[in-house]
Amino acid sequence: MMLIRKPADIPSSEITPESVYLRRRELMKGAVALAGAALLPGGVSAAELKALSYRAAETAEDNPFYTSEAQTPFKDATSYNNFYEFGTAKDDPAQYAAALTTDPWSIEVEGEVGKPGRYHLEDLLKGMHIEERVYRLRCVEAWSMVIPWLGFPLSTLLARFEPTSKAKYVQFETLFRPSEMRGQRSAFSTIDWPYTEGLRMDEAMHPLTLMSVGMYGKVLPNQNGAPIRLVVPWKYGFKSIKSITKIRFTERQPRSSWQRIAPDEYGFYANVNPEVDHPRWSQRYERRLPSSLFAPQRIKTQMFNGYAEQVASLYKDMNLRRYY
């Protein structure tokens, strides 16, 4: 079902000029063109992706949406990541994500909301102001990157659906399409597809939480979660779910995919915490990519990935060892 509001119901501030709307349509077509192109091992070059129009990040050191730390090169950020829908190797997403079709794309909204339904992506992008945010990305596997994301606050999107007072959590679901996502066809996969993740409502509405549609000035490559994904910079990377097709508002805490697979290793909150080790490795240090044997970049991990000043109050009086 596609939800359509009458012109009289739409504030003038939300009405997008026709020229901007058409340009966004072209940008989304750019993502489709990428999906139909053959990807070389190691990903595509930035020149092959359509550019996005956005507001550049302010480079002030006290800006929580920006870090002056060296950005991870585009090639590394697009050729080394986890997207198990395409395979378990780090380069599998770059090699096989070309099979993914990203247009048309829609997101189903359900649960404790006043405006449930299926929304087309281009409708969700109407009235959104795309901005750049340069965030640290810390994987639970103890490697990290610095990525310039493009997107808009998740809170802006969720507010449109009018969550009810019973909406205490938000659950997200990745696309389930085995015909295009080879990892979902694997007999060896331990994930009960589709992949799901969740946030507490105050986490979802926090200003740092971003819904991303691009990176490095371009639309998202397929292997990085095209056409739309979540970015939660103070949590381990698996919380930043990719290629979202469903948003569900719930009263009870939802169980994420990794909680179902290994609850002793992966908790619901998954906040970056150097004081709480993974059962199989330390979380005190991380490899900042690119890193190699001859040019290692081993750095100390920061509490909440360096965003403690902004988010520590969300977890006041919580036992972070118990609620990991």
On whether residue 164 sits in a domain, the answer given is: yes
Query: What pLDDT is attached to residue 61?
Result: 86
- Boundaries of domain holding 24: 7-266
Q: Can you give the pLDDT of all 324 residues of the chain as single tens digits?
A: 334 333 334 343 333 343 333 344 444 444 333 333 333 333 455 667 899 999 999 999 899 999 999 999 999 999 999 999 999 999 999 999 999 999 999 999 999 999 999 999 999 999 999 999 999 999 999 999 999 999 999 999 999 999 999 999 999 999 999 999 999 999 999 999 999 999 999 999 999 999 999 999 999 999 999 999 999 999 999 999 999 999 999 999 999 999 999 999 999 999 999 999 999 999 999 999 999 989 899 999 999 999 999 999 999 999 999 999
On whether residue 274 sits in a domain, the answer given is: no
Query: What pLDDT is attached to residue 219?
Result: 97
> In this structure, which long-range contacts are made by residues 120-128, counting pairs with CB atoms below 8 Å and at least 24 apart in sequence?
120/2, 121/28, 121/227, 121/228, 122/21, 122/24, 122/25, 122/28, 123/2, 123/3, 124/157, 124/160, 125/24, 125/213, 126/14, 126/16, 126/21, 127/13, 127/14, 127/15, 127/16, 128/152, 128/156, 128/157
On whether residue 132 sits in a domain, the answer given is: yes
**Number of domains within the chain:** 1
Q: Residue 248's domain is classified under what CATH number?
A: 3.90.420.10
On whether residue 309 sits in a domain, the answer given is: no
On whether residue 98 sits in a domain, the answer given is: yes
On whether residue 59 sits in a domain, the answer given is: yes
The C-alpha atoms of residue 234 and residue 196 are separated, in whole angstroms, by 19
On whether residue 111 sits in a domain, the answer given is: yes
On whether residue 272 sits in a domain, the answer given is: no
Query: What pLDDT is attached to residue 46?
Result: 63
The shares of helix, strand and coil residues in the chain, as percent rounded to the nearest 5, are 25, 25, 50
